[in-house]
Chains A and B, each alone.
Chain A
Amino acid sequence: MSKDGSELNPDSSELTLDGLGIPMWLTLEMTYRCPLQCPWCSNPLDFDKFKNELSTEEWKKVLVDGRKMGALQLGFTGGEPMLRDDIEELVAYAEDLGYYTNLITSGVGLTPERLQALKDAGLKQIQLSVQAASKDLSLKLVGVDVFDQKMEVFEDIKSQGFPMVLNIPICKQNIGETRQMLEMAERLEVEYIEFANVQYYNWALLNREEFLPSIEELRAAEEVVKEFRDRLGNKMQIYFVIPDYYEDRPKACMNGWGAIHLTIGPDGAALPCQEARVIKGLEFPNVRDNPLDWIWNESPVFNAYRGDSWMKDPCKSCDEKENDHGGCRCQAYLLTGDAANTDPVCSKSPMHDVIESCVSNIASPHRVEKPLVFRKKGAITTDFLDV
């Protein structure tokens, strides 16, 4: 499964990227509010400070403007998007405009009545997050007792006939349940299952050493995935990628900065990706103040790391820069202090040792386990973010 814009080359049947400079993927973070406390949450550490959410009418304007620019895939996410009471209305509006609508949800608040309303509104698919195959582990990982509720929603979604993606954030604590989760997905005839290895930004970065599985654990899980793939063929697409910490080359994050992805935060801030707020010093343009096409085409933020003219060595002179665009800007910023540096995951990065030392730390028999930091207000002080 590729989260990208792809073009089919009829001769080789290979997929190559071609967004034609269009923000084909539009992600709407409807709110940062969420009933769950997942310790890998991608929302900002100071999520509670964003209270000024866009109104229904303001979101509609984003939808109209995005579609004019050629946006196709639309994700309603959060936080928990179902905490907003206008999702049904916005889905119907987006469907009329010609978007392919996706709802990315924890399932909490997704009652049969609301599911029916979403179906009537034309919603195309639902991505439901499940964190464990058992109630106990689920509670341990998300901080609230929602497992039974999720399982009910899981069945409701299927009985409504929605295509669904089951999204499972993978970490050391749940990787051992890979088989049980695949069995659950098979039983409920899920079309897609995505084992999303936790990526280390924001809350996940705080908990990184507790979360990062060992390479042995990852290979074992991969074996289980292979077994199911061989048996089920294209009945169920299983997406599983090992964390970039174990790769030699970085991921082609977002297919490049400002290439095909546009995210709008709850407060209207336009972001090249959902994590981009971690990069300090960037002033994100807001849809309340600026036209969307200016934001995408002209704004300093969206041009800051677009293309490759911003690159430094080793990326600048690297013959692989077209493949990975230098990796992830947020990861480069968080781990090396400069977003224009090579993503330190790359073995050519002069700072690659920050990755190597993390991997060797987690393998150390002397490592002291720490409690997980759960995503909630006051879990950590975020005053430093205001400086």
Chain B
Amino acid sequence: MAETITADDVVELSSMYLLRWEEPQQAHILLYPEGVVKLNETGAEILKYCDGTRTAEKIITELNELYTTDVSKSVYKFLEVSYVKGWIRIKS
């Protein structure tokens, strides 16, 4: 298994994870077997882009445009953490 995500990897949410807006929490949440994670706004935004069509590089480029500032480093870090936690996987 690859240890980290590289720029060319197409990433997607792992099949057992469910990302959705939750009104009582006023936040996006990630649901999975035996767990709930409440995401902050940027975290949810990043995961929405992990849709199996974009490479890590493309996600970073698009989010840089969206936030009009260089968020490359924090986005990449978030993707890495999400990958290690098993929230996202590399599409084969």
Contacts and interface: CB of A to CB of B under 8 A. Distances in A.
A163 interface: yes
Interface stretch (B50-58, B59-67, B79-87): B79-87
B40 interface: yes
A10 interface: yes
Nearest to B15: A163
B16 A10 contact: no
A164 B29 CA distance: 20
Contacts of A69: 24
Interface residues of B, number: 29
B73 to A, nearest CB: 12
Contacts of A217: none
Given A22-B24, A100-B18, A191 B33 contact: yes
Contacts of A125: 16, 33
Interface in B8-27: 15-16, 18, 22, 24-25
Contacts, number: 86
Interface in A6-31: 6-8, 10, 13, 15, 18, 20, 22, 24
A64 interface: no
B81 A6 contact: no
A350 to B, nearest CB: 35
Nearest to B44: A8
Contacts of B6: none
B16 A15 contact: no
A309 interface: no
Contacts of A72: 22, 29, 31, 36
